[in-house]
């Protein structure tokens, strides 16, 4: 089969669906690749680079007449008319937002795969274009905000006075939101973030930002990895939080979108009017209506009180080279999935839930919407076998009392054993026995109270202790007492395992921080 890569007809589209580094991977799958001349110019990929990669060139008509067409945007009516019945189109088709497009491709007699319909499951991450583009868009959103803000992100203390850091508030902690949080934080800003999915609070804090919590927000873990609409009570509480956070922020970045629906309005005109003059809003949901009441797609709006609202819908395309590379890599991973024999023959296997979820039409038949994916992003609930009778919940006070009693009994038995052994041991051994017991108690309480973050330096300390044990054992290994000799050999073996194992683990951890 032949893969066609057209030059995007939209004047604002800078990306290309295949790059000189992804073309050889397509060729290895058994396909022929034909590229329209100038397809990669806006992403700084010259035609000579495609020629060196093994691609051939064709006119727009020849490219769209290919067996498989890869594009970033849906085709125009004229471009769709050039496609042959039975061909396959792979693009961002947005069937969840515009389900009527399925009939359009069915009438053309083609198979259509929508890249924005990839299910949120682990095995589909490598071909998830939405995540790839959202990552770049989140990065670019901070750059756009910094340019419009005109101030420093990081705080400074100088001889001329103190400069406070910029206050950044990010709404939504998906891929784009987390990328924005990371970049804003690395630039020195104080970042606060909110998401309706409670499970992402830990991710926000791991990026160094403050997770803004709202009371009464649904604590149910998202079943598909996407955000869902709030109830009326939750929305009211969230609105109060949005008003307060936006009023205190210098920069607000909104990313909230609901799959298959228009973006929710989070910041009203009144909230924006209460923001500080010179503050900036970057609305990353502008393409689906926007998260603010004043957002205009692909426009920059400055309000009467001096707030700048940026509604660019091509944030990822403003970094065209990297965006095209990631987009093309996602497409390569998709074609690997649908070309199992690597013979250049595309196979749409509906037993594969990833392929089924993406397919809008197959050979002219409408297949949208797909059935729900079987794999859920929510944790699997623990079920009790029907043959067993569920035990009633135990009284926590009684459980704590029993645990305390067990600990006291164990401590009492330990003391009895200690005194018995001490009473039967020679006076010289008794001193060593005391040191051993004290070491056991001190070691237990020291190690059990060390935070996990300090386990690596603690391991280095235990290596030093093991070294001391090894030296002592070496001094005793030549003893005339056979029991002492055996014990010395055992001590040498155990201490050696600990020392060398500790060095191996430490070296492996350090390798994670080495470049290359």
Tokens 């590229």 appear where? 35
Sheet holding 56-58, edge to edge: 56-58, 32-36, 2-5, 68-70, 88-91, 111-114, 359-362, 365-366
- For residue 233, what pLDDT is reported? 76
Higher-confidence position of 446 and 490: 490
DSSP 299-339: -EEE-TTS-EEE--S-TGGGSHHHHHHHHHHHHHHHHHHH-
How far apart (Å, rounded) are the C-alpha atoms in residues 285 and 295? 9
Pick the CATH number of 134-318 from 3.40.50.1010, 3.20.20.100, 3.40.50.720, 3.30.590.10: 3.40.50.720
C-alpha pair distances (Å), 108 with each of 28, 85, 142, 368: 30, 6, 41, 15
Q: Which residues, 6 or more positions from 504, have their beta carbon under 8 angstroms from its beta carbon?
A: none
64, 83 contact by CB (below 8 A):
yes
Does 246 participate in catalysis according to the annotation? Answer: no
pLDDT of residue 278: 96
Phi first, then psi: what are they for 177, rounded to 5°? Answer: -65, -45
Q: Residues 128, 195, 283, 314: which is the catalytic one?
A: 128
For residue 452, pLDDT beyond 70: no
Quote the CA–CA distance of 168 and 145 in Å, as a whole number: 10
**Quick one: pLDDT at residue 403?**
73
Q: Is 128 a catalytic residue?
A: yes
Crossing angle for the helix pair 482-511 and 455-476, to the nearest 10 degrees:
150
Structure tokens at 261: 């629906």
Q: Is 122 a catalytic residue?
A: no
Residues 14-73 pLDDT 10s: 999 999 999 999 999 999 999 999 999 999 999 999 999 999 999 999 999 999 999 999
Which one is catalytic: 15, 120, 197, 356? 120
Tokens 């020679």 found at: 426
Is the model's pLDDT at 510 over the cut of 80?
A: no
Beta pairing partners, 362: 365
Q: Is the dihedral of CA 178, 179, 185, 186 positive or negative?
A: positive
Q: What is the pLDDT of residues 455-499, one digit of tens each?
A: 556 666 666 677 778 788 888 888 888 888 888 888 888 888 877
Q: Which two tokens stand for residue 451?
A: 């935070």
pLDDT surpassing 80 at residue 244: yes
Tokens 């770049």, located at residue = 136
The dihedrals phi and psi of 266, each to the nearest 5 degrees, come to -105, -40
Per-residue pLDDT of 308-327, as tens digits, reads: 999 999 999 999 999 999 99
The residue ranking higher by pLDDT, 383 or 420, is 420
> pLDDT at position 10, please?
93
Using the predicted structure, report yes or no on whether residue 381 has a pLDDT greater than 60. no
Catalytic residue among 56, 125, 156, 231, which? 125
State the pairing for strand pair 2-5/68-70. parallel
Catalytic residue check, 139: no
CB count in 10 Å sphere of residue 427: 6
Average pLDDT, the chain: 86
Q: Is 149 a catalytic residue?
A: no
The full set of domain ranges for the chain reads 2-117+339-366, 134-318, 400-511
Q: Do the two domains 2-117+339-366 and 134-318 of this chain adopt the same fold?
A: yes
Average pLDDT over residues 177-197: 94
> What are the pLDDT digits (tens) for 403-434?
778 878 887 887 788 777 767 767 667 677 77
Instruction: Name the band, by pLDDT with cuts 50, 70 and 90, for residue 447.
Output: low
Domain covering 2-117+339-366 assigned CATH 3.40.50.720 in the classification:
yes
pLDDT (tens digit per residue) in 86-142: 999 999 999 988 899 999 999 999 999 999 999 988 889 999 999 999 999 999 999
Tell me, what's the pLDDT at 386? 46
Which carries the bigger pLDDT value, residue 32 or residue 218?
32
Options 226, 259, 318, 476, the catalytic residue? 226
Identify the pLDDT of residue 150: 87
């Amino acid at each position: 089969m032949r893969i066609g890569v057209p030059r995007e007809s939209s004047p604002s589209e800078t990306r290309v669906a295949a790059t000189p580094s992804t073309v050889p991977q397509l060729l290895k799958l058994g396909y022929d690749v034909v590229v329209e001349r100038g397809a990669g110019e806006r992403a700084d990929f010259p035609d000579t680079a495609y020629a060196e990669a093994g691609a051939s060139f064709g006119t727009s008509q020849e490219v769209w007449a290919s067996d498989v067409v890869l594009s970033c945007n849906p085709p125009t009516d004229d471009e769709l008319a050039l496609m042959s019945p039975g061909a396959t189109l792979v693009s961002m088709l947005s069937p969840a937002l515009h389900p009527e497009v399925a009939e359009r491709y069915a009438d053309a007699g083609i198979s259509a795969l929508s890249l924005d319909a990839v299910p949120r499951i682990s095995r589909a991450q490598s071909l998830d274009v939405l995540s790839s583009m959202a990552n770049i868009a989140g990065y670019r959103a901070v750059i756009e905000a910094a340019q419009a803000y005109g101030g420093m992100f990081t705080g400074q203390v100088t001889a001329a006075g103190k400069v406070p850091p910029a206050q950044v508030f990010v709404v939504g902690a998906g891929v784009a939101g987390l990328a924005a949080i990371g970049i804003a934080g690395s630039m020195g800003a104080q970042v606060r973030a909110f998401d309706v999915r409670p499970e992402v609070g830990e991710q926000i804090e791991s990026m160094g930002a403050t997770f803004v919590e709202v009371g009464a927000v649904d604590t149910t873990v998202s079943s598909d990895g996407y955000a869902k609409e709030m109830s009326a009570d939750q929305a009211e509480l969230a609105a109060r939080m949005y008003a307060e956070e936006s009023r205190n922020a210098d920069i607000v970045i909104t990313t909230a979108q609901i799959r298959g629906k228009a973006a929710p309005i989070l910041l009203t005109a009144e909230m924006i009017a209460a923001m500080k003059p010179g503050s900036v809003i970057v609305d990353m949901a502008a393409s689906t209506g926007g998260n603010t009441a004043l957002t205009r797609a692909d426009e920059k709006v400055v309000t009467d009180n001096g707030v700048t609202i940026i509604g660019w819908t091509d944030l990822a395309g403003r970094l065209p080279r990297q965006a095209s590379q990631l987009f093309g890599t996602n497409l390569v991973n998709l074609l690997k999935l649908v070309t199992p024999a690597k013979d250049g023959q595309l196979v749409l296997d509906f037993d594969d839930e990833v392929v089924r979820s993406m397919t809008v039409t197959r050979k002219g038949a409408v297949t949208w919407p797909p059935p729900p994916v079987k794999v859920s992003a929510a944790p699997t609930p623990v079920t009790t076998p029907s043959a067993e009778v569920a035990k009633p919940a135990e009284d926590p006070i009684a459980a704590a009392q029993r645990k305390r009693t067990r600990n006291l009994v164990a401590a009492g038995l330990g003391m009895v054993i200690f005194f018995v052994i001490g009473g039967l041991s020679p006076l010289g051994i008794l001193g060593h026995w005391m040191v051993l017991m004290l070491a056991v108690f001190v070691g237990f309480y020291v190690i059990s109270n060390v935070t996990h973050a300090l386990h690596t330096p603690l391991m280095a300390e235990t290596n030093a202790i093991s070294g001391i044990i090894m030296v002592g054992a070496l001094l005793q290994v030549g003893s005339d007492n056979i029991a002492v000799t055996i014990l010395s050999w055992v001590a040498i073996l155990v201490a050696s395992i600990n020392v060398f194992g500790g060095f191996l683990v430490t070296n492996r951890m350090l390798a994670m921080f080495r470049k290359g």
